[in-house]
Amino acid sequence: MSAMLGQLLERINDSGPLTVADFMAECLLHPTLGYYTTRDPLGATGDFTTAPEISQMFGELVGLVLAQSWLHQGAPDQIVLAEAGPGRGTLMADILRATRAVPGFHAALTLHLVEASPVLRAKQQEALAGYNVTFHDSIADLPEAPLWFVANEFFDALPIRQFIRDGEGWREKRVIAQDGDLGFALGGIAPIATLEHRLGDTETGDMVEVCAPAAPLASELGRRIAEHGGVALIFDYGDWRSKGDTLQAVKAHQKVNPLAGPGEADLTAHVDFETLARAAAPAAHTPLTPQGVFLERLGITERAQALATRAAGGTLDDLIAAHRRLTHPDEMGTLFKVLGLYPATHAPLPGFE
Ligand code: SAH
C-alpha cells in the first residue's frame, strides 16, 4: 500500500468520509506526498502537456495582450506582473521575451509567482534566471498595486465538491474506505443554500460541482483590478456554468481512475467561468472566448508563418502541429477557454471582440 493511500484510509477511519475537495487537496498538495509537491508533471515524458509547453507562440501572444493593455491604461509604473500556478515557468519566460521590446514595460514591472510546489518553484526560478522573482503562497499575498495577471490550468487544479440533485435537495459525493481501498459513496439528502440557484437548471440525478476557493480568488483579482488598474487572463478548460461529473485523473497522458494510485496522477475539474466572472465584479469581464478563436484573432497564424520562414525540417512540422493543437476544435481550441478581467472604465481587451 502506498504511503498516500495509507494516510487517506487512516484519515477516513479517524474522521469519516472525505469530500471530493478534501481528497483532491490531499492528493495534489500534501506537504510530503502530494502530486505537485513532489514532482514536475509536465511534458512528453511526464503526465500532461499544456499550451505554453506546446509552443512559444502561446506565451508570445499572451505577452502582447498584457503589454497592449498596459499601454492602453496609460503605462502605469510599478505594476505587479503575476502568474498563478506557473508550472515550469515557460509561459512567463515567453511573456517576458515577447515584451522586451515594449518601451518601459520591463522597467515598470516586478515579477510575482503564486506557486505551492517547491519542486516547481525551483523550475520556475531556473526558467526565469536573470529576473528577480518573488514567490507567494496565495493570490491574496500579492502586493497591492496595478496587477497584470495570468493563469493557465491553475483554476482546474483547485479542489471541487460534487453534489447530486435529489428532489429539492442534494447528496454529496464522498470518498470512503472500502475493503482496504478507496470508494465513492453518496451522503444524505440536504438542502444547500449556495446551490439554490441551480434548482432551476438541473433535475434529479444531475451533478453540479462547486469550487469553494475559486470565487474568493476571482473576487480578490477583480477588486485589485478595479481599484488599481490591470488585467487578468484566465485560461482553462471548462464552460460558463458547471454541469456533470468533470473530475478527471491523468497519468502518462492517459485518463485513469481518480481513486487508483492517489497522489500519482494529476486531478482536475472543469472550471465554472460564470462563478469567476460574477465574483470579479466590480471589475468588468470579457465574453468567455474559446482559446482557438482568441489565438486566431491575435494572429497566431501569421506568427506561425513568420516562425516557419526561419524553421527547417522537423521544426516546420512541429510548428504546424503546435498551431493545430492550440487552436483546432478537435484539440484544445474549443474545450479550452479564456476569460479576461479589466477595469470597467476601460475599453475591452484585444482578442475578445
Ligand atoms: N500553468 C502551467 C502549469 C499548470 S499545472 C502550464 O500551463 O504549464 C498547475 C500548476 O498550479 C502547477 O504549477 C501547480 O503546482 C500549481 N498549483 C496547483 N494548486 C495550487 C495552489 N493551490 N496554489 C498554488 N499553486 C498551485
User: What are the structural domains, with CATH classification, of the chain?
Assistant: 36-159+211-298+331-342 (3.40.50.150)
Task: Name the residue of 24, 36, 250 to mutate for ligand 1: max ligand atoms within 8 A of Cβ.
Answer: 36
% of the chain exceeding 90 in pLDDT: 93
Instruction: Return d(Cα 345, Cα 104) in angstroms, integer.
Output: 23
Ligand 1 atom 19 nearest Cα: 157
Counting beta carbons within 10 angstroms of the beta carbon of residue 16, is it exposed (0 to 12), middle (13 to 18) or buried (19 or more)?
exposed
The DSSP secondary-structure symbol of 87 reads T
List, chain by chain if needed, residues with CB within 6 Å of any ligand 1 atom.
Answer: 36, 42, 50, 52-53, 85-87, 91, 114-117, 120, 152-154, 157
Instruction: Return d(Cα 233, Cα 140) in angstroms, integer.
Output: 17
Q: Are 277 and 219 in contact (CB under 8 A)?
A: no
**pLDDT tens readout for residues 99-111:** 999 999 999 999 9
Q: What angle do CA 132, 35, 88 make, to 5 degrees?
A: 30
- Tell me how far the alpha carbon of residue 158 lies from the centroid of ligand 1, in angstroms: 9
Instruction: Return d(Cα 210, Cα 242) in angstroms, integer.
Output: 8
Residue ranges in the chain assigned as alpha helix (H): 3-15, 20-29, 35-38, 51-54, 56-72, 90-99, 105-108, 118-127, 214-228, 273-279, 291-297, 300-308, 314-327
**Is the whole-model pTM more than 0.95?**
yes
Hey, how many other C-beta atoms are within 10 angstroms of the C-beta on 45?
A: 8
Using DSSP bridges, classify how beta strands 169-178 and 18-19 pair: parallel, antiparallel or unpaired.
Answer: antiparallel
Q: Are 122 and 86 in contact (CB under 8 A)?
A: no
Q: Determine the average pLDDT of the residues in 195-210.
A: 95
What SS3 class is residue 63? helix
- Tell me how far the alpha carbon of residue 353 lies from the centroid of ligand 1, in angstroms: 29
Instruction: Return d(Cα 272, Cα 241) in angstroms, integer.
Output: 5
Q: Determine the average pLDDT of the residues in 22-50.
A: 96
Instruction: Return d(Cα 80, Cα 61) in angstroms, integer.
Output: 19
What ligand 1 atom has the least distance to the C-alpha of 266?
A: 5
**pLDDT tens readout for residues 47-80:** 999 999 999 999 999 999 999 999 999 999 999 9
226: pLDDT strictly greater than 70: yes
What ligand 1 atom has the least distance to the C-alpha of 151?
A: 1
DSSP string for 203-221: -TT-EEEE-TTHHHHHHHH
| pLDDT given at position 224 | 98
| pLDDT given at position 313 | 67
| pLDDT given at position 243 | 85
Q: Determine the average pLDDT of the residues in 156-170.
A: 97
**pLDDT tens readout for residues 253-296:** 999 999 999 999 999 999 999 999 999 999 999 999 999 999 99
| pLDDT given at position 242 | 83
CA-CA distances (angstroms) from residue 275 to 63, 85, 206, 219, 348?
Answer: 26, 19, 19, 10, 20
123: pLDDT strictly greater than 90: yes
311: pLDDT strictly greater than 80: no
Q: Are 290 and 339 in contact (CB under 8 A)?
A: no
Q: Are 175 and 262 in contact (CB under 8 A)?
A: no
HSE (CB half, 13 Å, CA atoms) of 117? 26
